[in-house]
Amino acid sequence: MSSISTRLALMFGLSVALIVSVCAVVLQGSLKDSLQQQMHNELELRHSLLDPLLMSRESRGSWLKVVDKLSAMAPDDGPDALHWVISDDPFYSYGGPAPFGVDWNRVPDGFSILPPQKGCCPLNVLITTIPPAGSRPALRFVVALDSTPYMKTLGDFTHNLTAISIAGTLLVALLGYGIARLGLWPVRRLSSQAHGLAPGDTGQRLDTARLPPEIRDLAVSFNGVLARQEVAWRQLESFNADVAHELRTPLTNLMGQTQMGLAVGQDVQEFKELLQSNMEELERMTSIVNDMLFLSHAQVGRMAMDLSEISLREEAQKTTEYVEPLFVEKDLTITLQGDARALADRRLFHRALANLLENAACHADVRSEVTIDMESRDGKAYLSVSNVGQPIDPQHLPRLFERFFRAESSRSQSDRHHGLGLSIVKAIAVIHQGDVFVRSEDGVNTFGFWILAQSST
């Protein structure tokens, strides 16, 4: 693909070539017309001078003066204006044989052009008939003009015009190339800036201050991409740190217990207990790793979905049965309210709701009521789980759905909770083209999500 400068230069050149060609054709045509008119005028002038002379001669005696006059007008060096007098009486004939073997009787009176022959230019001819007078018969008087000098003028003009047109076109193409390169200078500057961006330094941006408006938008969008990359990069960094942190606790526990088991002599029962405890740590690690895999699959859109039209209430009923034991522990009651229909993956829906219910069971006041509300509104199917509990600090609300985020300052409960439950709820809502929400009002904490609703018809 050729450069923009070359393409612009080519386009400038072609445009100029087109315009100049049209102008040249028009100019050449008008010059040709005006030369033709000039020859016509010249012929008419000669006739106006000579016709009265021929008319006034009425006898053979006076005719000889005409012959002298015409002979005197004949050019010395080659034919310029040529004269013929055609008569049935050879005495009155003048001028010798007709040029190009033309038969004068076939050429009508008035203006005509004898076509060129053998390298000669065309002859322009004006013929008049001189009526008989006295003893003189009727005559036809032919004045011919050789168009060679006129054609030469036209040829020279065409030649010069062609040379000027070609030179002009080339000059414009060359200037166009230079101008385009000059105009594209900011683009080259931008690209060298982009080349200079060092990998790893996420705070770098392109300098958009001195850019022309045409490419400023591009640079601003590019900076937007860099800014989003920076956010993603920082998230990835903190995610890595969080993963390491989460895995370190169970690993430390595992190592400590194993070292203790190896150091001190223990009986079979104690070893069994040790292995049991190790098993719990391993299960915890497996659950973290599984949750992370789930989130990463959901994020890159590689989650297999088995969509079907479901009643949120029917499915919620099944989920509550499954998490019932958690609620019994704290003597909580679950109430279901409303219903909505949606196109969703049953398995994922159960997982999201189970996470919300587990959290509610964990954070609800003892012997309180947990409510699952479902409703269809504005084409969306909403589901929320509300429980009575400690108000959540408003500054934590926007971060609750982030990975590994836990509102509790100490991670005392981290044995069972690693802070991925709500981010999984969010991921499930997002892959159903929905989103999540949270409220903490009047001692009631509400967590929920919406997905696209199905009309119940």
Under the rule (CB under 5 A), what is the footprint of Mg ion? 359, 421
CA atoms within 13 A on the CB side of 428: 28
Gap between the Cα atoms of 251 and 279, Å rounded: 12
* CB closer to ligand ADP out of 157 and 405: 405
SS3 270: helix
Gap between the Cα atoms of 316 and 56, Å rounded: 130
Residue 283 touching ligand ADP (CB under 6 A): no
Binding mask 349-388 for ligand ADP (x = CB under 6 A): ------x---xx--x-----------------------x-
Residue 169 touching ligand ADP (CB under 6 A): no
* CB closer to ligand ADP out of 83 and 418: 418
**Which helix (H) or strand (E) is 445 found in, with range?**
strand 444-452
Q: Where are the beta strands (DSSP E) in 119-238?
A: 123-130, 139-146
Q: Which of ligand ADP, Mg ion, none does residue 340 bind to, with CB < 5 to 8 Å depending on kind? A: none
Q: How large is the greatest C-alpha to C-alpha distance in the chain, in angstroms?
A: 167
Least distance between ligand ADP and beta carbon 438 (Å): 8
Structure tokens at 37: 């008119």
Q: If we measure between CA atoms, which residue out of 204, 224, 207, 208 comes closest to residue 216?
A: 208
Contacts of 253 (CB under 8 A, 6+ apart): 277, 281
Contact between residue 424 and residue 348 where contact means Cβ atoms under 8 Å apart: no
The per-residue b/e assignment along 28-44, b for 16 or more CB within 10 angstroms, e otherwise, is eeebbeebbeebeebbe
Binding mask 402-431 for ligand ADP (x = CB under 6 A): ---xxxx--------xxxxxx---------
Residue 389 touching ligand ADP (CB under 6 A): yes
* CB closer to Mg ion out of 128 and 414: 414
* CB closer to ligand ADP out of 406 and 432: 406
Q: How many chain residues interact with ligand ADP (CB under 6 A)?
A: 20
Structure tokens at 68: 């002298």
Least distance between ligand ADP and beta carbon 416 (Å): 7
Q: State the residue number with the nearest CB to ligand ADP.
A: 421
Q: Which of ligand ADP, Mg ion, none does residue 419 bind to, with CB < 5 to 8 Å depending on kind? A: ligand ADP
DSSP state of 136: B
* CB closer to Mg ion out of 161 and 360: 360
Question: Applying CB under 6 A, which of residues 86, 180, 206, 400 lies at the interface with ligand ADP?
Answer: 400
Least distance between ligand ADP and beta carbon 424 (Å): 8
Terminal Cα-to-Cα distance of the chain (whole angstroms): 56
What is the pairing mode between strands 369-377 and 333-337? parallel
* CB closer to ligand ADP out of 147 and 359: 359
Residue 445 touching ligand ADP (CB under 6 A): yes
**Residues engaged in binding ligand ADP (CB under 6 A):** 355, 359-360, 363, 387, 389, 392, 400, 405-408, 417-422, 445, 447
